[in-house]
Amino acid sequence: MDRVLIFDTTLRDGEQSPGISLDVGEKLEIAEQLSRLGVDVIEAGFPIASDGDFEAVEAIAKSVRGPVIAGLSRTGFKDVDRAWEAIRHAERNRIHVFIATSEIHMRKKLRMTPDQVKAEAGAGVARARSYTDDVEFSPEDGFRSDPDFMCEVCQVAVDNGAATLNIPDTVGFGLPEDYGKLIAYVFDTVTGDYVVSTHCHDDLGLAVANSLAGVTNGARQVECAINGLGERAGNAALEEVVMAIKTRSDYFAGVDTGIRTEELARTSRMVSRLTGYPVQFNKAIVGRNAFAHEAGIHQHGVLEDRETYEIIDAGLVGQEAAQIVLGKHSGRHAFSDSLDKLGLHLQGDALNQAFVRFKELADRKVQINEADLEAIVAAELGLGIVHKFAMVSLDLEGGTQRTPHAYVTLTDGAEKIEADGEGNGMIDAAIAAIAAATGVTGELTEFHVSSVTRGGDALGDVVLQLDANGVRAGGRGVATDVVEASARAYLAAVNKVVRLRERPEVRERAVGP
Ligand code: KIV
Ligand code: ZN
């Protein structure tokens, strides 16, 4: 089999999605799961962008084993040196150097002549190569560049030691046929020994199709992100690229990826939970309805033979999360065992707290399945992260006749804090009470409610974004009651705001591609 390398950029391009702000612990958690999933390369971040980005890339390079750990860099030596500093501890590392080659980017953004860009590319790649043998080069906005000039710059990069040429369709303008032709043109024009990679944005909804056209034309690396996260409309969705290649092995004859597809659904849920970006219900491969059959005729067909209406076995992508794993009689041992199986390793106080929360929920919800468990543990407790405020109780009064009123008791570890608040509805009142108790106020810029699984006792899952005077943070809360879930989500966002305020540089992006 000819391997198509999967280069995951969830933590770099994906993190550039508006409103996503992952801290180091969350990035590490995702990187560990990407390693479990079997990606070949993790682009862990853009180290020069901020101290927070640097710290996260360095932490991942130090502890995540398996994939190559890549850091993004512009061509300037300061960028390259910083990228190397962050990734140098990795078992295998890569510096990903980029500079724009399209006329509009060179003239309006870089204010450089084509010759200057060529010289920059050569110097940046050579500098990166002085640190590591594994250097990737990207001519940013490659698809809209003059192909001859783009190939000249790529040739300079290869001559200076780049082993991978990544051809970005930065603004998602390409159509599959054109993009495929561009990949073929690179092979015909640039001499040397290199792997060609695709990097397609989804502005026309064609990122996956374009990436696959690249593969058909010889690309052997695809840059993609879990759930298709990324700038604007996002990048090619990793799960879709991988499953298209696998499912249509008749078409992609002789090529495959090294992805452990059974981990796809879990990875998608984790990324959704930590980024606060919900997965569309009908999203291919990982959406909750991707294997649901509604029409009677379909249900009948599937019962007779799954293949009447399914081209993929749900189990193959880890979509069978409905099996019951625990109930209210389960003990701490079974609980911790189940978490371990999900790759959630909790110990000490974190395990005790998670177990208490699990028991509370199991009292109200008979069956706790895998998806519930993940949501409870990670959304409510935030693995390994110390939260300033925790919820002790929430009581509500009022309704359609009387103004809704909420009473909340929180603890900040040292003492209990009580406060109350009124609002237009129960959720509004609960949020007002938490704002009063914590002193953190702001504007809710996003608010989504859904259920973790199906059924009347499904856990309500609330994802929101809070803008507290310019400090933006996402929060997620899970509970059997939607008001409580909303309050927990709000508190999670408040805790994150407090953490970010303590480390303001974490979110200050100095630069961005
Ligand atoms: O879209 C793009 O061009 C990028 C590059 C930095 C590879 O993300
Ligand atoms: Zn991109």
Q: How confident is the model at residue 171 (pLDDT cuts 50, 70, 90)?
A: very high
Give the per-residue pLDDT at 412: 87
Give the per-residue pLDDT at 511: 43
Q: What is the pLDDT of residues 283-318, one digit of tens each?
A: 999 998 888 776 777 777 777 888 888 899 999 999
Q: How confident is the model at residue 452 (pLDDT cuts 50, 70, 90)?
A: low
pLDDT above 90 (res 128): yes
In angstroms, the CA 120 to CA 73 distance is 12
C-alpha 223 – ligand 2 centre gap (Å): 9
The CATH class, in words, for 292-379 is: mainly alpha
Helix or strand (DSSP H, E) at 21: none
pLDDT above 50 (res 506): no
Give the per-residue pLDDT at 343: 66
Give the per-residue pLDDT at 212: 98
Give the per-residue pLDDT at 367: 66
- Look up residue 105 and give its two tokens: 């980017």
Determine the residue of 98, 141, 143 to mutate for testing ligand 1's pocket, defined as the one with the most ligand atoms within 8 A of the Cβ atom: 98
Alpha carbon nearest to ligand 1 atom 2, residue: 170
Higher pLDDT, 22 or 298: 22
Higher pLDDT, 375 or 194: 194
Give the per-residue pLDDT at 383: 45
pLDDT above 60 (res 507): no
pTM: 0.80
Q: Give, rounded to a whole angstrom, the gap between the first and last alpha carbons of the chain.
A: 35
Give the per-residue pLDDT at 448: 81
Q: What is the pLDDT of residues 314-330, one digit of tens each?
A: 999 998 644 556 778 88
Determine the residue of 43, 137, 169, 170 to mutate for testing ligand 1's pocket, defined as the one with the most ligand atoms within 8 A of the Cβ atom: 170
In angstroms, the CA 356 to CA 332 distance is 9
pLDDT above 80 (res 46): yes
> In the block, which residue shows the tokens 């509004």?
428
Q: State the average pLDDT over residues 464-480.
A: 81
Q: Is 269 in the pocket of ligand 1 (CB under 6 A)?
A: no
Residues in the chain: 513
Beta-carbon contacts of residue 373 (< 8 Å; ≥ 6 apart): 325, 326, 338, 339, 342, 344, 358
Q: State the average pLDDT over residues 441-469.
A: 78
Give residue 290's identity as a one-letter amino acid code.
A
Give the per-residue pLDDT at 407: 97
Helix or strand (DSSP H, E) at 20: none
Q: Is 168 in the pocket of ligand 1 (CB under 6 A)?
A: yes
> In the block, which residue shows the tokens 């612990």?
25
Q: Which atom of ligand 1 is nearest to the CA of 140?
A: 3
DSSP class of 381: I
Picking from 232, 156, 154, the residue whose alpha carbon sits closest to that of residue 200 is 232
In angstroms, the CA 74 to CA 189 distance is 24
Picking from 190, 194, 198, 147, the residue whose alpha carbon sits closest to that of residue 168 is 198
Give the per-residue pLDDT at 464: 81
C-alpha 141 – ligand 1 centre gap (Å): 7
Q: CA-CA distances (angstroms) from residue 332 to 362, 449, 461, 480? A: 13, 30, 24, 21
Tally Cβ neighbours within 10 Å of residue 318.
22
C-alpha 225 – ligand 1 centre gap (Å): 12
Q: What is the mean pLDDT of the chain?
A: 89
Q: Quick one: how far is CA 166 from the chain centroid?
A: 21
Cβ pair 339, 373 in contact under 8 A = yes
Give the per-residue pLDDT at 386: 59
In angstroms, the CA 159 to CA 162 distance is 7
Q: What is the pLDDT of residues 133-153, one digit of tens each?
A: 999 999 999 999 999 999 999
Among 52-66, 364-378, 400-414, name the one with the lowest average pLDDT. Answer: 364-378
Beta-carbon contacts of residue 454 (< 8 Å; ≥ 6 apart): none
Q: State the average pLDDT over residues 350-375.
A: 76
Beta-carbon contacts of residue 107 (< 8 Å; ≥ 6 apart): none
Q: Hey, what CATH topology would domain 2-275 get?
A: TIM Barrel (3.20.20)
SS3 446: strand
Higher pLDDT, 353 or 149: 149
Domain positions in the chain: 2-275, 292-379, 390-506
Number of helical H runs and strand E runs in the chain: 16, 18
Higher pLDDT, 15 or 334: 15
Alpha carbon nearest to ligand 1 atom 6, residue: 513
The CATH homologous superfamily of the domain defined by 390-506? Alpha-isopropylmalate synthase LeuA, regulatory domain (3.30.160.270)
Helix or strand (DSSP H, E) at 69: strand 68-73
